[in-house]
Amino acid sequence: MALALFRFIAAVGRTQVVANTLGTFTLLLVFVLGGFIVAKDDIEPWMIWGYYSSPMMYGQNAIVMNEFLDERWSVNNTDSNFAGETVGKVLLKARGFFTDDYWFWICIGALFGFSLLFNVLFIGALTFLNPLGDSKAVVVDDDAKKNKKTSSGQQRAEGLTLSKPFPFLLFPLPSLFADIAHFTKLIMALT
């Protein structure tokens, strides 16, 4: 789902700068409205639509429900200060997560739906949006390369004359370490 989201953002942005800006803003919204930074119960009522439209909310709810509705968290709640039948449900309610089992499958379905939606929007953006700038295609002209060679068929590179074109101008330097001698002192006690 995240791959599809950011591919869609890249297709809409069409340049690296715009795509990075949109991606950063999208991450900010997804994290703030996803229930991780601000719990569902703490979000203002006029912003609750952002919570339900955030893909992170569905992924996070599915993960925590899978963990805290498991048998190991099904110990009865003995603390009367918290409303909930089990310790797992008390922990889920404390952060505003769903406690009903059917929400797990709703969250999984929503994640697949978001993935499908963002992939369709990505294809649509590639199909219908034009590039923001000019095309920068480069055409290599082989005839121009041949005309740049010297008349004798030799090329000059940094003061050296090469008889053949040398693609990477890498010259071995074996004499660089010629004067370095390495020796180890022999310990007489071991001999």
Residues 7 and 93 in one domain: yes
Residues 121 and 163 in one domain: no
Range from 13-22, 44-53, 155-164 carrying the lowest mean pLDDT: 155-164
Q: What is the dihedral of CA 93, 91, 66, 63, to 10 degrees?
A: 80
Question: Mean per-residue pLDDT for 68-88?
Answer: 82
pLDDT over 60 (residue 163) = no
pLDDT over 80 (residue 105) = yes
Residues 107 and 159 in one domain: no
Residue 169's CB: how many other CB atoms inside 10 A? Answer: 9
Residues 186 and 122 in one domain: no
Residues 113 and 186 in one domain: no
Give the range of the structural domain holding residue 43, as residue numbers without chain letter. Answer: 2-128
Residue 78 lies in a domain: yes
Residues 32 and 108 in one domain: yes
- In our burial notation (b when 16+ CB lie closer than 10 A, e otherwise), range 40-51 reads beebeeeeeebb
Residues 122 and 173 in one domain: no
Instruction: Give the range with max mean pLDDT: 49-63, 72-86, 123-137, 177-191.
Output: 49-63
Residue 43 lies in a domain: yes
**Could you give the number of structural domains in the chain?**
2
Residue 116 lies in a domain: yes
Give the span between the Cα atoms of 111 and 115, in whole angstroms.
Answer: 6
pLDDT given at position 189 = 64
pLDDT given at position 85 = 81
Residues 95 and 25 in one domain: yes
In sequence order, the β-bridge partners of residue 86 are 76
Residue 20 lies in a domain: yes
Inter-helix orientation angle 55-68/16-33, to 10°: 40
Residues 49 and 96 in one domain: yes
Number of helices (H), then strands (E), belonging to the chain: the values are: 7, 2
pLDDT given at position 63 = 95
Residue 143 lies in a domain: no
Residues 94 and 177 in one domain: no
Inter-helix orientation angle 16-33/2-13, to 10°: 140
pLDDT over 90 (residue 157) = no
Q: Is the pTM of this model over 0.85?
A: no
Question: Mean per-residue pLDDT for 53-60?
Answer: 94
Residue 162 lies in a domain: yes
Residue 157 lies in a domain: yes
pLDDT over 50 (residue 151) = no
pLDDT over 90 (residue 19) = yes
Give the span between the Cα atoms of 25 and 170, in whole angstroms.
Answer: 46
What tens digit of pLDDT does each residue of 26-41 get? 999 999 888 889 888 8
Residues 55 and 109 in one domain: yes
Residues 120 and 162 in one domain: no
